[in-house]
Amino acid sequence: MRIGTQNIQNPENYKYKILAVDDEEGIVDSLSIFLKRSGYDFTGVTDPIKAVELVKTEHFDLMILDFIMTPFHGDQVVEEIRKFNKDLYILLLTGHKDLAPPLDTIRRLDIQGYCEKSDKFDQLLLLIESGIKSIEQMNHIKKINDELSDTYEKLEHAYLESIQTLRYTIEAKDIYTRGHSDRVAAYSVLIGKRLGLSDDDLKTLQIGGLFHDIGKIGVPDSIIQKEGKLDDDEYSQIKQHPNIGVHILSNASIFKDILPIVEHHHEKYDGTGYPGKLAGEDIPYLARIAAVADSFDAMASKRAYREALPIDRIISEFMRCRGTQFDPDIDDVFIDILENHFDEIKEIQEKYK
């Protein structure tokens, strides 16, 4: 394989790093001369194992990879690289087209192109130039996406602060529910841990608990603050707060995972709850957990019309409502917490008075 006659000098090319891998040292040397003459930042190795390690530790824009090598063929090298790097642009060199890997392998490993070895580099150069253009486009798109993401994160942060303000406004309406959302969030996480939920689910439970009642901002103060029993019309209005909450939070993608909690934390296991009258397994699982936490805090908190219920009365209520209002498995776990780990409940109550 000899060097072609091109003598291209393009200083712009130097910002692109090319790694060539071929177990024939003469080919690596020829590629080095040719690609450096073309202006590229070039690294060449004859050991495919070393090539994988280089890709792990350094940034390369494009790789030129021989297919038939020892101790690993080129497709095996790509297989390893794709485990940790999906972006590297890879061109495969083959001694003969009949020795190229199957087309489905090329697609599966996201190999962008291949060409036969020849005594000139003309075809390879065209593939490299095409690859560089693709890399430039992808880098430009990534830059735009990063800028949009940064702007979007700032907007979502501002939106989150606004929603937090709404949450505090709701709790300020009624001194008897101050700290309610913080406690529901903490109780939900406590139950979730006992159920062995993932960190992602625990985070969703926490955020869902904090904002589960955000829709009450749309309920008149006279209803929120009423000391006596609500009449049918007032109760109908209070039942709208889950839907109002979803409407408020659905404008930001950061809240998408908690929407089922916000919408369904007043559903009952027997299907008599609201707003959807969902039953059993149709109620989102995390919403079933939040429903237990929400109900406990309502029972354990002082209200204008009654004192907080004693713990033995609360346990009796959870036993009575097992399988009707509450998911029986979640109910059992929470009763165990109340009976055997009440110190953890007290700790939450002290923290969010």
Q: pLDDT 10s per residue in the chain (353 long)?
A: 444 434 445 666 768 899 999 988 988 999 999 888 888 899 999 999 999 999 999 999 999 998 888 888 888 999 999 999 988 999 988 876 666 677 777 888 888 887 877 767 778 888 888 888 888 888 877 787 777 777 767 777 777 777 777 777 777 776 666 789 999 999 999 999 999 999 999 999 999 999 999 888 888 877 877 777 888 888 888 899 999 989 888 877 788 999 999 999 999 999 999 999 999 999 999 999 999 999 999 999 987 678 899 999 999 999 999 999 999 999 999 999 999 999 999 999 999 88
Tokens of 227: 């000391």
* Pair (206, 76) in one structural domain: no
- 149 inside domain: no
Residue 245 burial (C-beta neighbours within 10 Å; 0-12, 13-18, 19+):
buried
Same domain, yes or no, for 179 and 99?
A: no
Residue 115, H or E segment: strand 113-116
Within a domain: 221 = yes
The residue range of the domain holding 33 is 11-143
Question: Is residue 4, in this structure, part of any structural domain at all?
Answer: no
The answer to whether residue 302 is domain-embedded is yes
119's CB contacts (< 8 A; 6+ apart) are: 1, 2
Query: For the purposes of burial, counting CB atoms within 10 Å of the CB of 199, is it exposed (0-12), middle (13-18) or buried (19 or more)?
Result: exposed
pTM over 0.85: no
Q: Are 13 and 129 in contact (CB under 8 A)?
A: no
Q: Which of 143, 159, 194 is the last residue of a domain?
A: 143
Residue 92 pairs in a beta bridge with 65, 114
Q: Which residues are catalytic?
A: 216
Please indicate, yes or no, whether residues 138 and 178 belong to a single structural domain of this protein. no
List, for residues 334-348, the tens digit of each pLDDT value: 999 999 999 999 999
CATH number of the domain at 296, please.
Answer: 1.10.3210.10
Is residue 340 located within the same domain as residue 193? yes
Token output for 351: 């923290």
- Measured in degrees and rounded to the nearest 5, phi and psi for residue 132 equal -60, -40
Per-residue model confidence (pLDDT) at position 2: 42
The reply to whether 169 falls in a domain is no
Domains contained in the chain, number:
2
- 2 found inside a domain: no
Instruction: Kindly state whether residue 280 falls inside one of the protein's structural domains.
Output: yes
* pLDDT tens digits, one per residue of 101-148: 777 778 888 888 878 777 677 788 888 888 888 888 888 777 877 777
- The CATH number given to whatever domain includes residue 83 is 3.40.50.2300
| 237 Cβ contact list (under 8 Å, min separation 6) | 219, 220, 223
- Of the candidates 305, 335, 298, the residue with the CA atom closest to the CA atom of residue 320: 335
Who's near 50: CB < 8 A, 6+ residues apart? none
242: Cα within 13 Å, side-chain hemisphere: 23
